[in-house]
Structure 1
Amino acid sequence: MPTTPISDIPAIRDTLRANFRKGVARPLEWRKRQLLQMARMLQENGEAFAEALAKDLGKPRLEVYVHEMGTIIERALVSVQELDNWVKPVAVEAPDWQKPWKPTIYKRAKGTVLIIAPWNYPLVLSLQPFIGAIAAGCCAVLKPSEVSPHNSALLAELFPKYMDPDAYRVVLGAVPETTKLLELQWDHIFYTGNSQIARIISAAAAKHLTPLTLELGGKSPVIIDPTFDIALAAKRIVWGKTQNCGQLCVSPDYVLIPRGHQDAFIAALKDAYAEMFPEGTMNSSSVSRIVSPQHHTRLTDLLKRTKGQVVLGGKTEGTTKIEFTILRDVSGNDSFMEGEIFGPFLPIVPVDSIEEAIEFVQNRPHPLVLYTFTDNAELKERILDETMSGAAVFNDLMQQLIVNELPFGGVGESGHGVQVLKYTYDAFSYDRSSIDVPKEVEPFNAVRYPPYSEEKFKAMTVAAFLPIPDTV
């Protein structure tokens, strides 16, 4: 993959900053055209993106069109339709004596922003935040991942053909180029990736007091209520875990189930797997591969060190293939519980009760999503009340991602800030408060001016002596 000369990076940032100040990205109609150009870029080059993602990840063509291109095209078009509503000033309801001031909140672009994207869904996770930056009126640099080089190179090639280079640029490279980007001051940084790199980015951003959106991952658990339809739960879990070969931030990371039901659950998983992948995942054209030999080595090391029992799969091939693998009787301190797996392994952690499962989740860093399979309304309420996660999803996997009206983001170790459509627009905007105080109110201002008197004291300090009720 070609790289952007490091010496060019400050000039790219400076040019975009100057153009932002000139108002290049401010007109609404211009923003809408850029959003349409993004959709057009994908639609007119669909096969090229499908080929790039096949080379980078072995990603099936269907998944590229549905999960990557379709998502971006739809959300770009929705943003065009909704932008007029998003940018409307909001008149604030104020006390009668302040109404003549016309208190108003205006949405304004933060400025020149940096988007650092990951490799696992390299198209949608690059352009989804970019939609919000365009809609907000920001100028932006996109740094796609060097781990998915074909997709990154294609974005760099197509961007200047479709997007206005006075406002939007792609920087290619790896650690040295990203380090140079982070040395510069930005008005917002949007990072999608892991918590280790997020700490580096946060430290760099802190030097400039740069606000951040961090979309991270973590270990997203699945709690199984044994009274639920176990066969249905197993089918949905196998489907979710095999998406992109488990390389997904909202992938189910491990399963908590009362130990007396572990055998029945494993049998249901095997049945679902046999139905979906009769030839096995390593030979299936419906499953992506491991992204690189380095990640393959990391994953096989987890398998070598586990104390859990492999009950399905466990085979590896070459440097990019690992079979979908189920492990039973995995303990809380197993190798597979050290960090986010990000691969095709499904550890089952047996517990003595649902209460123990909830406590297990409570005692660990907050996940990006907590999945629970249950029809029990009381248990759903307990999950919502007693645990923390970026999202709580009941009775399916990953479907929260396609609800455009919901915010998507983490909490604690799984990140902060949210995105998708209006939420991404808000992330790259700030609320600018405004009042316009008319001259005619000057007689009412007399009480505030020195010299102070006892009469002015009584008039100005009413709030300090408001009665406080004994009960609520």
Structure 2
Amino acid sequence: MATLQYTPVDEIEKIRSRLQDGFKTGKTKSLEYRKYQLLQLAYLLKENRTRFIEAMRIDLGRPVFESEFYEIASCLGDIAVTVKSLDKWAKPEGVPFDINWFAMKPKTHKVPKGTILIITPFNYPVWLVMQPLMSAIAAGNAVCLKASENAPATTGLWTELMPKYLDPDLVQMVNGGVTETTRNTEAELSAVSYTGSGTVGRIVAMAAAKHLTPVTLELGGKSPVVVDASCDIEMTAKRVLLGRFVNAGQTCVSPDYILVVKSVQDKFLAALERTYKSFVNGDGPTPPGSFSHIITDRHAGEVILGGETDASQKHISLSVITDVPKDDSLMSEEIFGPVMPILPVEDLDEAIHYINSGDRPLAIYVFADDKKIKDKVRNETMSGTMAFNECMIQVGVNGLPFGGTGASGYGYHTGEHGYKSFRICEQRSTTLSCAVDKILWWRYPPYTDANIRAMKRVMRDGLPAKPKGPPSLSSGKSVSWGKWVMVLVAIAAAAAVKKNRS
């Protein structure tokens, strides 16, 4: 087990002061310097990807494919998009024309908040660090990062590498547990981004409220799956099971439970069993090494698939539990592990009523071919995101906001929505699945070298070359000689036309 050196509590205030002083220097006002920092962050990950994969294996027992696809490749691609889009995102925006004010040329300018505290969990120790961190850097902030002590190998690697790649006046790490996190949240900061449990999220929000500090919360929750009679049963079983298989169910948008219409329950269970066998190469349990570790495990009801455990390896196979009562203790809070309960319902109205009787989930997944069914669930429920005939894939779609609503959180930290500095508003992203399995066949277990090669062909990061050094921070803008040549040519051409006319 890896060990993590905690930050001395009396050093935390000094770290925060250094970041605040670093922000005051004005270095982050330069878009070129922000791009440089973003590319340094990308190459930190790219040049050390083997070490990160090994660290995640130590912390989570993570298969290589999952670390590559769900964490590293997606982060590198997102940074490439951020670097290419930053000029556009940062451009001042005009306002609708108004005869009373247009002469004043009113515009909105996007300015950084200042010093940001980012607190991340153990379950995706790369992706959930990179996403808010790249957004905060792109927006021009200084960052104090508190990564999870429950992923000590990965957090230790971040601690080692960050000072070698990023400006230590603008990005610092604080390691520790409850004491260190509390000391951080008690301070007056410009903004806080927290990803984790709802219980801790409430504590963070209350601490921030003392200073009126804006907060971004991504809290997960119980994300339901609705299986309608009109769906493609085999496809539904495959995609739902994959959603719970990945990272041993330790994903904030993982399908938490299934509401299946009784008329197709038996067909759906049979399809789940066939899919499960295809994932584990036969009738045996999910082999350790191809399936991530868990932190805790829970069982209830009748286990129809999986259920094998190895406490010494923190291993529990993916477990499907059928005929779970709606008031079962398993349904009282988010199941952060490879346990998937199935609740039969008479019809869609019963499913919607059950979803609406609890907290608003981070995601809702609807498997149906009937458009009226899809529209009904979308119109009569609330959630942070929604996907039709897919699971979890909506999180990786460039341009869509990712965040919760109500008890599942608020604010965003992906793409342009994260760049806008944790603006609090309600935006519900949706995706509509198409026949992608022939193209994305490689996302399904069992994971082989062929899966990894195919994934890497698709998930090219598109990063520009690594910078040889930081850009000049001089206030003067570089001269674009090409632009002036075009202007002079145009002036000469106009003069020639005028002369000929005279």
Same fold (TM over 0.5): yes
Match of 2:302 in 1: 309
Counterparts of residues 65-80 of structure 1 (less than 5 Å): 65-80=68-83
Paired AA for residue 287 in structure 1: F
1:367-391: per-residue Cα shift (whole Å, max 9, x none)? 0000010011111111111000011
Deviation at 1:313, TM superposition (A): 1.7
Deviation at 1:287, TM superposition (A): 1.4
Q: Compared with structure 1, are the counterparts of its residues 201 and 281 closer, same or farther at alpha carbon in structure 2 (3 Å cutoff)?
A: farther
Q: Secondary structure at the match of 1:409?
A: coil
Question: Residues of 2 paired with 1:284 and 1:236: CA distance?
Answer: 22
Task: Select the residue among 324, 331, 347 that pairs with 2:318.
Answer: 324
Paired AA for residue 101 in structure 2: Q
Question: Residues of 1 paired with 2:78 and 2:408: CA distance?
Answer: 24
Q: Is the counterpart of residue 247 in structure 1 residue 241 in structure 2?
A: no
Paired AA for residue 400 in structure 1: Q
Paired AA for residue 135 in structure 1: A
Q: Secondary structure at the match of 2:281?
A: coil
Query: Are 2:285 and 2:308, in contact at CA under 8 Å, matched by a contact in 1?
Result: no
Question: Residues of 1 paired with 2:83 and 2:265: CA distance?
Answer: 49
Deviation at 1:228, TM superposition (A): 1.1
Q: Is the counterpart of residue 286 in structure 1 residue 290 in structure 2?
A: yes
Deviation at 1:148, TM superposition (A): 0.3
Task: Select the residue among 94, 98, 104 that pairs with 1:95.
Answer: 98
Moved more, 121-130 or 18-27: 18-27
Deviation at 1:342, TM superposition (A): 0.9
Query: Are 1:216 and 1:414, in contact at CA under 8 Å, matched by a contact in 2?
Result: yes
Counterparts of residues 145-294 of structure 1 (less than 5 Å): 145-278=148-281, 280-290=284-294
Deviation at 1:282, TM superposition (A): 3.7
Paired AA for residue 304 in structure 2: V
Q: Secondary structure at the match of 1:326?
A: strand
Match of 2:131 in 1: 128
Match of 1:18 in 2: 21
Counterparts of residues 277-426 of structure 1 (less than 5 Å): 277-278=280-281, 280-290=284-294, 295-296=295-296, 299=297, 302-303=298-299, 306=300, 308-319=301-312, 320-426=314-420
Q: Is the counterpart of residue 52 in structure 1 residue 55 in structure 2?
A: yes
Deviation at 1:34, TM superposition (A): 0.4
Q: Secondary structure at the match of 2:194?
A: strand
Q: Compared with structure 1, are the counterparts of its residues 390 and 70 closer, same or farther at alpha carbon in structure 2 (3 Å cutoff)?
A: same
Deviation at 1:97, TM superposition (A): 2.2
Question: Residues of 2 paired with 1:62 and 1:421: CA distance?
Answer: 24
Query: Are 2:412 and 2:422, in contact at CA under 8 Å, matched by a contact in 1?
Result: no
Query: Are 2:215 and 2:422, in contact at CA under 8 Å, matched by a contact in 1?
Result: no
Question: Residues of 2 paired with 1:426 and 1:65: CA distance?
Answer: 28
1:441-470: per-residue Cα shift (whole Å, max 9, x none)? xxxxxxxxxxxxxxxxxxxxxxxxxxxxxx
Match of 2:89 in 1: 86
Question: Residues of 2 paired with 1:118 and 1:347: CA distance?
Answer: 24
1:277-331: per-residue Cα shift (whole Å, max 9, x none)? 12545415331111xxxx33xx2xx31xx2x211112222124111111111101
Runs of 4 or more, structure 1, over 2 Å off, are 278-282, 427-430
- Number of residue pairs aligned between Structure 1 and Structure 2: 419
Q: Compared with structure 1, are the counterparts of its residues 344 and 429 closer, same or farther at alpha carbon in structure 2 (3 Å cutoff)?
A: closer
| Identical-pair percentage | 43
Q: Secondary structure at the match of 2:344?
A: strand
Query: Are 1:133 and 1:428, in contact at CA under 8 Å, matched by a contact in 2?
Result: no
Match of 1:447 in 2: none
Question: Residues of 1 paired with 2:302 and 2:410: CA distance?
Answer: 36
Deviation at 1:101, TM superposition (A): 1.5
Question: Residues of 1 paired with 2:322 and 2:137: CA distance?
Answer: 47
Q: Secondary structure at the match of 1:381?
A: helix
Deviation at 1:102, TM superposition (A): 1.5
Paired AA for residue 24 in structure 2: R
- Uncovered stretches (5+) of structure 2, i.e. residues with no partner: 425-502
Paired AA for residue 88 in structure 1: K
Moved more, 90-99 or 217-226: 90-99
Match of 1:453 in 2: none
Paired AA for residue 149 in structure 2: E
1:208-244: per-residue Cα shift (whole Å, max 9, x none)? 1000100110000000012211111001111111000
Q: Compared with structure 1, are the counterparts of its residues 286 and 245 closer, same or farther at alpha carbon in structure 2 (3 Å cutoff)?
A: same
Deviation at 1:258, TM superposition (A): 1.7
Question: Residues of 1 paired with 2:215 and 2:167: CA distance?
Answer: 25
Query: Are 2:321 and 2:339, in contact at CA under 8 Å, matched by a contact in 1?
Result: yes
Deviation at 1:170, TM superposition (A): 1.0
TM-score, normalised to structure 1, is 0.87
Question: Residues of 2 paired with 1:134 and 1:366: CA distance?
Answer: 30
Question: Residues of 1 paired with 2:344 and 2:293: CA distance?
Answer: 29
Paired AA for residue 62 in structure 1: F
Paired AA for residue 242 in structure 1: F
Match of 2:448 in 1: none
